[in-house]
Amino acid sequence: MNFTIRDATKNDMPSVLALIKELAEFEKEADAVEVTINDLQKDGFGDQPAFKCFVAEANNKVQGTAIVYNRFSTWKGKIIHLEDLIVSQKMRGHGIGTALLDKVVMYGHKLGVKRINWEVLDWNKGAIKLYEAKGAKILRDWDVVHLDEKGIKNYISKLG
Active site residues: 131
| Residues counted in the chain | 160
Cβ-based neighbours of 142, under 8 Å, separated by 6 or more: none
**E strands within 1-76?**
4-7, 52-58, 61-73
23/21 Cα distance (integer angstroms): 5
Neighbours of 84 (CB within 10 A): 17
> Starting at the edge strand that comes first in sequence, how are the strands of the sheet with 4-7 ordered?
4-7, 52-58, 61-73, 77-87, 115-117
Measure Cα distances from 150 to 28, 30, 153 in Å: 21, 19, 5
User: Are 55 and 46 within 8 A, CB to CB?
Assistant: no
